[in-house]
Amino acid sequence: MVDLGIKIHNVEFKNPVLTASGTCGFGEELSDFIDLSRLGGIVVKGTTLNHREGNPYPRMAETPSGMLNAVGLQNKGVKNFVNNIYPRIKDIDTNIIVNVNGSTIDEYIAVTEQINELDKIPAIELNISCPNVKEGGMAFGVSCPSAEAVVKAVRKVYNKTLIVKLSPNVTSIAEIAKAVEGQGADSVSLINTLLGMAIDAEKRRPVLSTVTGGLSGPAVKPIALRMVWQVYNAVKIPVIGMGGIMNATDAIEFILAGASAVQIGTAIFKDPTIPVQVIDGISSYMEKHKIGSISELIGGLQM
Amino acid sequence: MPSNTKGMNKTVQDLLLLENQQLNNDNFLLKLKSPVHLSGILPGQFVNVEIKSAREIFLRRPFSVLDVDYQNQTISLLVKILGRGSKKLTEITPGQKISVVFPLGKSFTFPDPGDRVLLIGGGSGVAPMLFLAKMCGLPADNVHVLLGAKTINDHINVDDYLKFGHFYYTTEDGSKGERGFVIDHPVFKEQLSKFTRIYTCGPNPMMKAIAASAKKANIICEVSLENMMACGFGVCLCCVEDTNEGHKCVCTEGPVFNVNDLKW
Ligand SMILES: Cc1cc2nc3c(=O)[nH]c(=O)nc-3n(C[C@H](O)[C@H](O)[C@H](O)COP(=O)(O)OP(=O)(O)OC[C@H]3O[C@@H](n4cnc5c(N)ncnc54)[C@H](O)[C@@H]3O)c2cc1C
Ligand SMILES: Cc1cc2nc3c(=O)[nH]c(=O)nc-3n(C[C@H](O)[C@H](O)[C@H](O)COP(=O)(O)O)c2cc1C
Ligand code: FES
């Protein structure tokens, strides 16, 4: 038996495979397809203080080896999560992590404070990288001072594990990672989607109602790998890698580049059983290469 | 007669393609054999099909269920060539396996025993109408099916379904049935008040026109929407329709909606 267990700050994960925010609902939606307790963790849909309807349809465009989305953080607000969703999912035997969003620092704080009360949520993922909202979102994640400000404020009200989700739409992601580490982030996760655009040549119009949207899927994988490697070399806190992971080999590449854990996103749309296939595939890889513990692989890239 | 969709769990399976039959210019009938039972799949529900081999086709493609043979565990789809994915799908040869996620979405609300129903299909929207005609449980005299297409060549052969109801046709050029759109057909224009329920699937402008008349005549009307989808099972929130209760997912809260719930 290989040891797939990892630790991020003080949260233990039975394996390094999580499902990414916005691509797995609240976990429940996948329960027909997979045994949720097999997952290392579930990062639930981005949550804001108030109910958000998100952006108008159309919100999706298929692109070569990927897709653009412009969902815009549609969610029923943190109160609904606390009262209606949390009771349904809290006993799933995995780590449930809430993706926290805000258009102002006060909103981030208000959401975090309410999530802090929930015993079975061991960590939050602070999303300072959503490209699909007009206010806040990515704006916080694209400069060091604003990223520092929001992380500093949230850190003050949150003692559990604080993961900060970084935007790839920056000149130096390593600089932003160092900045949030400096304010007490326990981990960074990356990448969120890359800002992109699709045009319908026949109609001579943008495909998305918002004109631009976030690119995800295999198309972004080389960029995501490069960024995970750069951030791993810049910070001491654990890195959670994602971006275009479709199978176990992709996941192992991220781990070799320095990721302690990975998240599976868009791949779930193609096949909701992929997260479990990735877990099994990592085990097989370790057996084949006689690696006893996954921690031996993290950052194990040979140069 | 099944009345609602608790049905089977959603699943991802490799289905064996038994037949890929060209019905006319751009419509194909695909018959697939499932390794698992199909009980509980009902009219209005759909499946999400993986189309391998071409890199540009990244996401699955949704198709309504045209028919199910519960005994032999086969499922039929009507695929109209629209773009690259549907074209590729019609080129797959029998004997190959296709990965399919099913069953997805909610079915139509089944009629009550005394109902007289009008089923209106346009384009590939014919598929769920034929399945509903077969499954709705009403005597054929109370099931009226109106099918619209551009020309006679765009109508598919529906001989297998004639026993389930009365069939009417329109074409834009008058080459089969009445000339014009489905809403120009006398069964719609003059006899609408005889029906207690209307079901429709097809292009949005067609369904909107039908919905407007149904609302005016105060007849229950359900439409099946074909919004763009990424996942098909409620996790991406890409497929939303703006309803009176805000954005709803077409893939899980639809694709069938009562028109009174829509902002049409
Ligand atoms: C619930 C539902 C049931 C459907 N039932 C049928 C059916 O029974 N028979 C049938 O022929 N067609 C059906 N469709 C439509 C079918 O999914 C599209 O024709 C198909 O996805 C087109 O793919 P393509 O690669 O050929 O087209 P593309 O080249 O990708 O694009 C052409 C057009 O197809 C539509 N389209 C493309 N991708 C999607 C997608 N992922 N989801 C929805 N629409 C898309 C868009 O309008 C697009 O502009 C259904 C759609 C939905 C949502
Ligand atoms: C439809 C969709 C919705 C998303 N919603 C969120 C979200 O609410 N919060 C967030 O931090 N990231 C969100 N993301 C980004 C993903 O979590 C992930 O960072 C990104 O898609 C890259 O990984 P992938 O290529 O494996 O999908 C979303 C992505 C998609 C495709
Ligand atoms: S297609 Fe993903 S939620 Fe409907």
- DSSP codes of every residue in chain B: ---S---SPPEEEEEEEEEEEE-SSSEEEEEEE-SS--TT--TT-EEEE---S-TT--S-EEEE--EEETTTTEEEEEEE--SHHHHHHHTPPTT-EEEEEEEESBPPPPPPTT--EEEEEEGGGHHHHHHHHHHS---GGGEEEEEEESSGGGSPP-GGGGGGSEEEEEETTSSSSEES-GGGSHHHHTTGGG-SEEEEES-HHHHHHHHHHHHHTT-EEEEE-----SSSSSSS--SEEEETTEEEETTTT-BEEEGGGB--
- Residue A190 CA: nearest ligand 2 atom is 19
Q: How far is the CA of B171 from the centre of ligand 3 (A)?
A: 33
**What's the pLDDT score for residue A81?**
98
User: Distance, in angstroms, between B238 CA and closest chain A CA?
Assistant: 5
Over chain A, what is the mean pLDDT? 96
Q: How far is the CA of B134 from the centre of ligand 2 (A)?
A: 41
**What's the pLDDT score for residue B6?**
54
Rounded CA separation B6/B4 (Å): 6
What residues contact residue A251 under an 8 Å CB cut-off, 6+ apart?
A16, A17, A245, A262, A264, A278, A281, A282
Q: Which residues of A touch B246 (CB under 8 A)?
A: 53
- To the query of whether residue A144 is one of the catalytic residues in this protein, the response is no
User: Is the predicted pLDDT of residue B3 greater than 50, yes or no?
Assistant: no
- Residue A43 CA: nearest ligand 2 atom is 17
Q: How many domains does chain A divide into?
A: 1
Q: Can you give the residue ranges of every domain in chain B?
A: 11-104, 117-224
Q: Decide if B234 and A29 are in contact by the 8 Å CB cutoff.
A: yes
Rounded CA separation A190/A168 (Å): 8
User: Does A301 map to a domain?
Assistant: no
User: Is the predicted pLDDT of residue A42 greater than 60, yes or no?
Assistant: yes
**What's the pLDDT score for residue B36?**
95
Chain B interface, best mutation among A52, A59, A202, A266, by max B CB count within 10 A:
A59
List all residues of chain A from 117 to 136 with a beta carbon under 8 Å from chain B. none
**What's the pLDDT score for residue B195?**
97
User: Does A303 map to a domain?
Assistant: no
What is the per-residue pLDDT across B195-212, written as a single tens digit (0 to 9) for each? 999 999 999 999 999 999
Cross-strand pairs, A261: A240
Q: Which of A4, A6, A36, A130 is catalytic?
A: A130
Give the chain B residue nearest A60 (alpha carbons): B238
Rounded CA separation B34/B20 (Å): 15
Tell me which residue of A20, A4, A2, A12 sits closest to A262, measured CA to CA.
Answer: A20
Q: Could you give the ipTM of this predicted complex? A: 0.95
The preferred substitution site among B106, B233, B247 for testing ligand 3, maximizing ligand atoms within 8 Å of CB, is B233
Q: Could you tell me which CATH class the domain B117-224 is placed in?
A: alpha beta
Chain A interface, best mutation among B59, B61, B82, B225, by max A CB count within 10 A:
B59
Average pLDDT for A106-117: 97
User: Is the predicted pLDDT of residue B218 greater than 90, yes or no?
Assistant: yes
Tell me which residue of A89, A99, A82 sits closest to A47, measured CA to CA.
Answer: A99
**Architecture of the domain delimited by B11-104:** Beta Barrel (2.40)
What is the per-residue pLDDT across B75-113, written as a single tens digit (0 to 9) for each? 999 999 999 999 999 999 999 999 999 999 999 999 999
Rounded CA separation A251/A225 (Å): 10
**What's the pLDDT score for residue A219?**
97
Tell me which residue of B167, B127, B169, B119 sits closest to B149, measured CA to CA.
Answer: B169
User: Does A190 map to a domain?
Assistant: yes
**What's the pLDDT score for residue B5?**
45
- The answer to whether residue A200 neighbours chain B at the CB level (below 8 Å) is no
Average pLDDT for A137-153: 90
Residue A113 sits in a domain whose CATH number is: 3.20.20.70
Q: What is the pTM of this model?
A: 0.96
User: Is the predicted pLDDT of residue B2 greater than 70, yes or no?
Assistant: no
The preferred substitution site among B32, B55, B61 for testing ligand 1, maximizing ligand atoms within 8 Å of CB, is B61
What is the per-residue pLDDT across A1-30, written as a single tens digit (0 to 9) for each? 899 999 999 999 999 999 999 999 999 999
User: Does A224 map to a domain?
Assistant: yes
User: Is the predicted pLDDT of residue A48 greater than 80, yes or no?
Assistant: yes
Q: Report yes or no: B144 and B165 within 8 Å, Cβ to Cβ.
A: yes
